Amino acid sequence: MEVTRRLALPERYHLAGTVGSLIATKGDPCARLDGNDFWLAARTPQGSATLHLARTGTEIVATGHGPGAAWLIDHADAIAGLRDEVEDWPAMAARHPLIARLAKTFAGVRMPASNLLFHRVLRAVLEQKVTGKEAHRAYRATIRHFGEPAPGPGGLTLPPDPAAVAATPYWVFHPFGVEQRRTQALLRVAAVAARLEACADSAEATRRLTALPGIGVWTAAETVRTTYGDADAVSVGDYHIPNTVAWALAGEARGTDQRMIELLEPFRGHRARVCDLLASGGIGAPKFGPRMPVRSFARF
């Protein structure tokens, strides 16, 4: 099955900056960005599918392949960030000179909303309390283990089937570099994935996710930000973001979660957007002390 839809683009729209957060890592088996072409493999409520977004001038041609093509096409504008509500953002960004400058520089970047929760929470669980290198390695190994080819062109791999993940013993994940704690959290999420995918909005998904052992506010925020396009979902408990916010907004080299929330309060409704802008702008606090070590649980 193949379905096509054309999407008109706002002025200065930036495809790569918008859909980049839907790509887990370089060489992501489930998503790829190549210039003006973005490919995404998904397990939708109507079946597996692949979405192709091709930018041509002032529009995007969205093409869906596979049994779930119609579902992906219905959500193509959200995936492309075109449902992102930014009307009040310029006035809010003007409250701080750095944020105002970054908002103008990255005015074409929108917040995507994939409406595909399990794939994103899988990524977030694997990213808990480890380096990016470790998380990306575990993610690619997990996708390869459960790998099924996605429909249509693109050469992508489908995200794991939640039922298959839930039925997998925890020790299978050990060679992927994932210890028992993260694996058990992932298995709990997989067991209730259908209920989680049915959540109506970010708030409901956050409540349901954080009710599960091993899923905290950081994991929930990382998940709902791009699943529902929640521009206010701040990743409390992050290793770097509180320092970045404190440095960027107040000139303080180190910050706590509480201080971060205080500084972001004037931007309520767009607090996660502020954090994303700081990351996009390469803003970072001064580095002191040793880096987080890279470990290999597969060798333990």
Residues 6+ apart with CB under 8 A from 84: 110, 111, 112, 113, 229, 231
pLDDT at 247 over 90: yes
CATH number of 117-216, picked from 3.90.420.10, 3.30.365.10, 1.10.340.30, 1.10.630.10 = 1.10.340.30
Q: What is residue 147's predicted lDDT score, i.e. its pLDDT?
A: 87
Residues 6+ apart with CB under 8 A from 167: none
CATH architecture, range 2-86: 2-Layer Sandwich (3.30)
In three state form, how does the secondary structure of 254-291 look? Answer: CCCHHHHHHHHHHHCCCHHHHHHHHHHCCCCCCCCCCC
Confidence of residue 293 (pLDDT cuts 50, 70, 90): low
Q: What is residue 58's predicted lDDT score, i.e. its pLDDT?
A: 95
Both tokens of 292, joined, read: 């987080």
HSE value, Cβ hemisphere, 13 Å, CA-based, for 213: 6
What amino acid occupies position 81?
G
Q: What is residue 1's predicted lDDT score, i.e. its pLDDT?
A: 80
- Give the number of other CB atoms < 10 A from CB of residue 155: 12
Are 124 and 235 contacting, i.e. CB atoms less than 8 angstroms apart?
Answer: no
Q: Tell me what the mean pLDDT of segment 241-250 comes to.
A: 97
pLDDT tens digits, one per residue of 37-66: 999 999 999 999 999 999 999 999 999 999
Q: Tell me what the mean pLDDT of segment 75-103 comes to.
A: 97
**Tokens 């649980």 — which residue?**
297
pLDDT at 294 over 50: no
Give the start-to-end residue ranges of the domains of the chain. Answer: 2-86, 117-216, 241-280
Burial letters for 71-80: b for 16+ Cβ neighbours within 10 Å, e otherwise? bbbbbbbbbb
**Tokens 């957060």 — which residue?**
21
Q: Which residues pair with 62 in a beta bridge?
A: 5, 53
Q: What is residue 170's predicted lDDT score, i.e. its pLDDT?
A: 94
pLDDT tens digits, one per residue of 142-180: 999 998 999 999 899 999 999 999 999 999 999 999 999
In this prediction the pTM is 0.93
Burial letters for 192-213: b for 16+ Cβ neighbours within 10 Å, e otherwise? bbeebbebeebeebbebbeebe
- Per the model's pLDDT, the better-predicted residue between 250 and 295 turns out to be 250
Are 236 and 221 contacting, i.e. CB atoms less than 8 angstroms apart?
Answer: yes
pLDDT tens digits, one per residue of 189-239: 999 999 999 999 999 999 999 999 999 999 999 999 999 999 999 999 998
pLDDT at 296 over 70: no
Mean pLDDT value across the chain: 95
Residues 6+ apart with CB under 8 A from 223: 117, 120, 121, 124, 205, 209
Confidence of residue 288 (pLDDT cuts 50, 70, 90): confident
| Cα separation, 90 vs 48, whole angstroms | 38
Confidence of residue 287 (pLDDT cuts 50, 70, 90): confident
